């Protein structure tokens, strides 16, 4: 990585949880509490423990502050926070018009799609620094995990 050259970098602060996300979390907490009561009555203590863990995770999530994501485009790949992805592992990309996320599609059948937010950067400016062999394809929309993350403001 000695010949690594930073071409473009930016930081995106995730949005704080809005009323919809808070309502969804509270509904999950209430449903979990009802499930705990039901499973305790049924003497199914493994399920009780699972729902207690779910409640603890949701409470922890509810009180965490939004974090920021660091995006760095280099001549060889992209670095998202502390994780580096080489461009040679991807065949195409698209930009979701709904969320403004860039999605990098892996070569072959094995591998996961990588996504990163454009933040306040102009998409054309970001495209300018992507390699020419990375083909732009039609908008395929957001993936399932980003849709859930958008609802919960994760």
Angle between helical axes of 144-152 and 19-41 (0-180°, round to 10): 100
Quote the distance between the C-alpha of residue 36 and its chain's center: 30
Q: How confident is the model at residue 49 (pLDDT cuts 50, 70, 90)?
A: very high
Q: What is the mean pLDDT of residues 75-87?
A: 89
**Domain housing 42:** 17-63
Note whether 96 and 36 are same-domain residues. no
Note whether 25 and 75 are same-domain residues. no
Note whether 56 and 83 are same-domain residues. no
pLDDT-above-70 percentage for the chain: 86
Higher-pLDDT residue of 19 and 138 is 138
Note whether 81 and 108 are same-domain residues. yes
**CATH number of the domain that 84 lies in?**
2.30.29.30
What does DSSP assign to residue 99? T
Mean pLDDT of the residues in the chain: 83
Per-residue tokens: 41: 């009555």
For residue 65, the model assigns a pLDDT of: 65
Q: How many CA atoms lie within 13 A of 111 on its CB side?
A: 16
Q: How confident is the model at residue 2 (pLDDT cuts 50, 70, 90)?
A: low
Q: What is the mean pLDDT of residues 19-45?
A: 89
Decide: 63 and 1 in contact? Cβ < 8 Å: no
Note whether 59 and 91 are same-domain residues. no
Note whether 53 and 94 are same-domain residues. no
Note whether 126 and 142 are same-domain residues. yes
Q: Evaluate whether residue 1 is within a structural domain.
A: no
Note whether 94 and 131 are same-domain residues. yes
Question: What is the domain count for the chain?
Answer: 2
Q: How confident is the model at residue 114 (pLDDT cuts 50, 70, 90)?
A: confident
Distances (CA, A) of 124 to 47, 52, 120: 50, 47, 12
Q: How far apart are CA 52 and CA 92, in angstroms?
A: 42
Model pTM? 0.60
Rounded to whole angstroms, the maximal C-alpha distance in the chain is 64
């Amino acid at each position: 990585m000695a010949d690594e050259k930073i071409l473009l970098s930016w930081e995106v602060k995730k949005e704080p949880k809005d009323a919809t996300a808070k309502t969804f979390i509270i509904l999950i907490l209430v449903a979990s509490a009802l499930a705990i009561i039901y499973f305790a009555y049924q003497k199914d203590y493994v399920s009780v423990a699972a729902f207690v863990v779910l409640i603890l995770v949701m409470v922890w999530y509810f009180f965490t502050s939004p974090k920021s994501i660091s995006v760095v485009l280099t001549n060889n790949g992209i670095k998202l926070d502390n994780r580096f992805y080489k461009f040679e592992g991807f065949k195409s990309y698209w930009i979701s018009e709904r969320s403004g996320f860039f999605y990098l599609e892996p070569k072959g059948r094995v591998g996961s799609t990588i996504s990163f937010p454009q933040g306040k950067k102009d998409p054309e400016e970001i495209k300018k620094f992507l390699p020419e062999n990375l083909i732009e394809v039609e908008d395929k929309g957001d993936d399932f995990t980003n849709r859930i993350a958008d609802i919960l403001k994760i």
